[in-house]
Amino acid sequence: MVASGLAMAYGFDLIDIVFHGSKAPISPALRASLQHSIHELAAFALVVRHIGASLHHSVIFKDGLLSRMWFGQCRTQD
């Protein structure tokens, strides 16, 4: 991971921008890569949050939410 990050930074001349205070604009390829990374992180966070919420309902609340959402018979509350 470190090597690929350094290779990417070197390829986009980020070393000069960070250490020499360059006012050069960010390349479109890097901008697209940053947008992809942000959206990837947001999607991952949503998946983790959904898994955490399902575990919370199963372990803490014990309200049978997953069984109500699962395929099968329709159960109504009395």
pLDDT at 51: 94
For 8-40, write each residue's pLDDT tens digit. 888 887 877 777 776 767 778 878 888 888 998
Angle at 64 between CA 63 and CA 68, to 5 degrees: 130
Rg over CA atoms, the chain: 23
Burial of 58 (0-12, 13-18, 19+ CB in 10 A): middle
Contact 12, 30 (CB under 8 A): yes
If you write DSSP's letter for every residue of 43-62 in order, what string do you get?
HHHHHHHHHHHHHIIIIII-
d(CA 22, CA 16): 6
Q: Is the pTM of this model over 0.85?
A: no
Q: Where are the domains of the chain?
A: 2-69
